[in-house]
A and B are shown apart, each in its own frame.
Chain A
């Protein structure tokens, strides 16, 4: 199972919106509504930001939203804040009854 494809880096200014894409295939992202997104700060454990494509866990800011179209899922962060600077990973359930992660995207808030 190949890793999902994410851009290596994205950047934005405070207050702006950014979108991180996560591209897979019909055997993972496109086939199931089981895409999640995690935020990871250096040296820390990942934090769940979005699950099942577009649902936010309790306590996660509504500035974070998720969507999916075909084989590509997206994480959008609106009203960018300096504290959003981190690595972001998508993950998807697969037809092989496994989970596959994306390669990760480094978000820089300029």
Chain B
């Protein structure tokens, strides 16, 4: 059974940093790209970014709203994807989901499994 479990969320002040983790099980983690998607309370889904599988260099893509502040990485030996968030702003407050890319292509445009989400609140 595929499982994705996010952790690391919490309440932080503007300008602070936070690192989220997404622990995966039930599939060959290294064969898939992984994405982070967020959702502010009562709002829609927003794609945050994506990391390719190492066969494609493990390179990353980001939404313009987080580029330069957020970094996605992965540790295939531990089956974990990370989201390092720096210079957090109040508008980053949201539930953050990690999601598994369907298939093993260069860019994952669809996600067939999602975690339960972890809440990040940025407030002074």
Docked CA distance A93–B61 (Å)? 12
CB of B45 within 8 Å of the partner chain: yes
- Which of B37, B46, B62 has the largest count of A CB atoms less than 10 A from its CB? B37
Q: Quick check: A98 and B45 within 8 Å, CB to CB? A: no
Q: Quick check: A45 and B117 within 8 Å, CB to CB? A: yes
Q: Which of B8-16, B24-32, B102-110 contacts A (4 or more CB under 8 A)?
A: B102-110
CB distance from A104 to the nearest CB of B (A): 4
- Asked whether A98 and B115 contact (CB < 8 A) given A45-B97, A91-B109, the answer is no
Q: Quick check: B114 and A46 within 8 Å, CB to CB? A: yes
Interchain CB contact (< 8 A) of A91 among B47, B64, B97, B102: B47
Q: Quick check: B44 and A103 within 8 Å, CB to CB? A: yes
Q: Quick check: A51 and B97 within 8 Å, CB to CB? A: no
Docked CA distance A110–B64 (Å)? 39
Q: Quick check: A48 and B102 within 8 Å, CB to CB? A: yes
Interface residues in B9-64 by Cβ distance below 8 A to A read 35, 37, 44-47, 50, 61-64
Interchain CB contact (< 8 A) of A51 among B37, B102, B115: B102
How many residues from A make CB contacts under 8 Å with B? 25
Q: Quick check: A52 and B110 within 8 Å, CB to CB? A: yes
Binary CB contact string for chain A from 40 to 84 against chain B (1 if under 8 A, 0 otherwise): 100001111001100001000000000000000000000000000
Q: Quick check: B109 and A89 within 8 Å, CB to CB? A: no
In this complex, the interface size class of chain B, counting residues with CB under 8 Å from chain A, is 20 to 34
- Asked whether A93 and B109 contact (CB < 8 A) given A45-B115, A48-B102, the answer is yes
Docked CA distance A47–B35 (Å)? 14
Q: Quick check: B61 and A97 within 8 Å, CB to CB? A: yes
Docked CA distance A66–B35 (Å)? 23
CB distance from B99 to the nearest CB of A (A): 8
Interface residues in A77-110 by Cβ distance below 8 A to B read 89, 91-93, 97-104
Contacts of A92 in B (CB 8 A): 109
Which B residues contact A (CB, under 8 angstroms)? 35, 37, 44-47, 50, 61-64, 97, 102, 107, 109-112, 114-117
